[in-house]
Structure 1
């Protein structure tokens, strides 16, 4: 016999593996367990005392038999205190003892109930069949003068079936409660995971927006500050113009940062109070880049930019903004071409191209997260984005976004 074949026969298997609440029951008794055990002991003892009084009322029974019956009945009742550790073994022993000892019948019923509660159907059916087979043996060996053999057999069988059925109902209810608790715990865990995922996605969106916006503003600041550093003898008008651009870019960066922090602090979904960029504001983006010394050519084939969906137009704007930022950092002094084409039903295609730089320059460090963020943004919008070096040198970013007709 191995543990995997008959785990319900071993003392360490007292706890039903299908009922997680039973796993700790074999190690300690709670207040409820003590109340249940005492109640079961008193019920079995009461039935045993009733049986002893019936036997004692029969004048054909000697005092020695009554004493032995009382002693065995008391031992059977006391044995119920180990029913939580040895339910199957106790039920088998009491099934063998009860046919010859009527005072142990109450303890047998309690043991059968315990087996039905704590064990699966197979051992319950086997032990129950044995108890039913032994039911007619007791009235045959120890008949009750006031009850017929048939009536005693039927009553004994009905009591056995009753306690077994009651125990299996209790077991089913416990399994249902355990299942519902597990489902509730799983649902709570899944809800927490969904909330964490939503928070993570929100953080990624905010981080992507912060990168797209602030990187553009800060590169403008870097270009103009670098121009002032390397040309300290520049005319006052040019210095004033560069300082004005720096001031405006810093003001815009602060506004964007304040807007993003407001979104972080606000519990509601908000895009901020400032108007969001669209396809119609693409000209302003290009005009903003030219004072920094960039050579930017915009080729816009969209006949009606205002008719483009707001979300699609905002994505096109962010792609062009990131492309200009990368060209400003990695290919300063080159001419950047921004091409936008398409229409309803065809989608929108945006390309940002720049040739390779011809003069040495001080490289601005970059993490490469901007292009990754653009790829995710285009994918979420239902489009696609490609980027990479050009065959003749330079770099290009190409994206296609849907525009329903």
Structure 2
């Protein structure tokens, strides 16, 4: 299909879901995602359009769910669209996993090629059941409106009646702003301590898993969390085997399945469906400082960033451990005076580690660890002594505070006693 232009006054007020439904005959849009490119990104990727949107659509009258990609050019007066079916194997493949996971299995080689590329761009590998054998010989014809129901009956042209329909109904749909990345809901990040109970289920037949749990942020109410497959397994293992008590979850808030409580009341709630999961746990590490940088957070809070290395023997083979360390100003106050934060100096750290998962250049799952330092010293032995002393002093202080009211009451009673002499 070619480019299709609308006046911007109509295009801005027209939701992409409706546009897709009209551009392709007989489909219902299940989910949409829109990405707007900056000028630098356009130059970097050598593209001549301003935005792209991905859509999961269900072909009406069937259970077949396919993907549609729409390119957009935006100027002062017009928005121009260029739609593609996944059967065209479009170049834009940075499609959200939530859309890819909705798609039905396909025997179309072009669609399969596009899906494989899309999954390879994700943070984690996709569901292999959605990746079909690339050697299939029978598939739908590309761009054939008679055999592919995703295409308009008019082929490459759009009638005046279709344009009129888009304009007529556009006022019923919310506008899409250029700074929106998703037409459904923005992502939310929640960080907090994990509740005592969680519910994990694994389906032997489908090989899929799901976990439900709660997280308590530092300031706020408990948040219901749901995660699937790799994220579900990651969370379960973190809680059971890694002694992780704190998680950071990024995802989208969605309506949970209503249920009836013991009182017979219908309970409706929202849950955060996890896209990414970061684990937090207390660690002690040591090594030699390889890099020192003074930085500031996004809200101008100063901190020192250290990169430390340590050679360890694992199974008779020497391995280099590497850690990113963050030391905020308030934690610097407890550092002994003879400890120097300089390259080449030995150092031992205790703090909260945040463990992130990512894919390397070979698409292998790797992990990086960033540590927010609480205690710092030159060697593990000195660090241990420092922490023990801090714990003893803290215990003494707590005991002193506990005894203070008793001493005050005793002193007050003593002052209130008379001489016992009668007049």
Question: Considering the TM-score relative to the shorter chain, is it more than 0.5?
Answer: no
Q: When the two structures are superposed, what TM-score results if normalisation uses the length of structure 2?
A: 0.19
Task: From the two aligned structures, give the one with the greater helix fraction.
Answer: 1
Task: From the two aligned structures, give the one with the greater strand fraction.
Answer: 2
